[in-house]
């Protein structure tokens, strides 16, 4: 009778110990999940290796993202602080970076300065842009002049974009150019741009009417802006 009781007690103890062992094993197989958002693919792999997480329990999906850098985690299916069991899979969406084929409409930068334009280009992940300046006395200085391609064009974010900003000429002198082959219209355009007054002297000549003939100023000489120069032009053959 005593032996029978002893056997019963031992059986109960064995069952309890077995149950504890099974529970401990099951419990130890659960791994606490971290918040991987923004972390790299390698960070996830290091965590999996440290915690002996089976390869089949970590699944990676890849998608484009305008905001998350390439190879960084966008999202995960198991929230931080939860546990992953052997029967579960941790699914992580990994960024492939910016979609190179995605197109965006280039905005109209009228009224914006170079800093504001560059901020917009950077914010919208354009990677191949150039900002330069061009002298234009008819537009407001330091503001947008034009772009290539033009505003409204649908372009990819790695397409070349050239932005031109208005610059005024603050120099007090200019160099006298070679007018050979130019017409009076073209000479006057140069004069207006450089704030030079031109006194035109007309000569009868075989050259086409309005064509440049000569000037007493040598090519390359410095001229004060606001001054007046004399230029000889053709009045035509005079037949």
**Residue 223 near residue 181 (C-beta atoms within 8 A):** no
- Residue 86: pLDDT band (50, 70, 90) is low
Query: Degrees (nearest 5) of the Cα angle 144, 132, 165?
Result: 15
Domain boundary among 43, 65, 95: 95
Rg from Cα positions in the chain: 39
Whether the full predicted model's pTM is greater than 0.75, yes or no, is no
Q: Are residues 178 and 217 in the same domain?
A: yes
| 194 touches 174 (CB < 8 A) | yes
* Token output for 75: 């999202």
pLDDT (0 to 100) of residue 5: 61
- Confidence (pLDDT) at 68: 93
Whether residue 113 is found in the same domain as residue 74: no
Q: H helices within the chain, ranges in order?
A: 2-28, 41-50, 114-123, 184-193
Paired residues of 83 in beta bridges: 32
Q: Per-residue pLDDT for 19 more than 70?
A: no
> Which structural domain range is residue 135 located in?
103-167
- Average of per-residue pLDDT across 187-199: 94
d(CA 90, CA 60): 9
Q: Are the C-beta atoms of 82 and 35 separated by less than 8 Å?
A: no
Residues 45 and 122 in one domain: no
Do both 188 and 117 map to the same domain?
no
The per-residue pLDDT for 1 is 57
As a whole number of angstroms, the distance between CA 6 and CA 224 comes to 121
Nearest to 230 by CA among 166, 193, 185, 187: 187
Is the confidence at residue 82, as pLDDT, over 70? yes
Q: What is the pLDDT of residues 21-70, one digit of tens each?
A: 444 444 445 789 999 999 999 999 999 999 989 888 999 999 999 889 99
Same domain (yes/no): 6, 86: yes
Residue 111 has pLDDT above 50, yes or no: yes
Domain boundary among 70, 95, 120: 95
CATH of residue 82: 3.30.10.20
pLDDT of residue 20: 45
CA dist 31 and 53 (Å) reads 8
Do residue 50 and residue 9 come from a single domain? yes
Listed residues 47, 76, 95: the one ending a domain: 95
Half-sphere exposure (Cβ direction) of 108: Cα atoms closer than 13 Å: 3
The total number of structural domains in the chain stands at 3
- Is the pLDDT assigned to residue 128 strictly greater than 90? yes
Tens-digit pLDDT profile for residues 137-189: 889 999 999 999 999 999 998 899 999 999 998 889 999 999 999 999 999 99
């Amino acid at each position: 009778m005593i032996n029978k009781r002893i056997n019963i007690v031992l059986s109960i103890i064995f069952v309890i110990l077995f149950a504890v062992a099974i529970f401990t094993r099951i419990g130890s197989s659960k791994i606490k999940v971290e918040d991987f958002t923004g972390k790299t693919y390698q960070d996830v792999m290091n965590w999996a290796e440290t915690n002996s997480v089976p390869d089949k329990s970590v699944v990676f999906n890849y998608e484009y993202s305008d905001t998350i850098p390439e190879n960084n985690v966008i999202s995960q299916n198991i929230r931080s602080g939860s546990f992953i069991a052997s029967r579960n899979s941790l699914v992580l969406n990994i960024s492939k970076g910016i979609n190179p084929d995605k197109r965006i409409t280039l905005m109209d930068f009228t009224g914006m300065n170079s800093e504001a334009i560059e901020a917009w280009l950077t914010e919208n992940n354009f990677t191949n842009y150039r900002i330069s300046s061009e002298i234009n006395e008819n537009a407001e200085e330091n503001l947008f002049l034009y772009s290539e391609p033009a505003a409204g064009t649908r372009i990819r974010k790695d397409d070349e974009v050239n932005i031109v900003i208005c610059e005024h000429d603050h120099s007090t002198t200019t160099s006298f150019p070679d007018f050979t082959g130019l017409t009076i219209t073209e000479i006057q355009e140069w004069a207006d741009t450089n704030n030079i007054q031109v006194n035109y002297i007309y000569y009868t000549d075989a050259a086409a009417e309005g064509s440049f003939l000569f000037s007493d100023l040598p090519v390359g000489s410095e001229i004060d802006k606001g001054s007046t120069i004399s230029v000889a032009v053709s009045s035509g053959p005079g037949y």
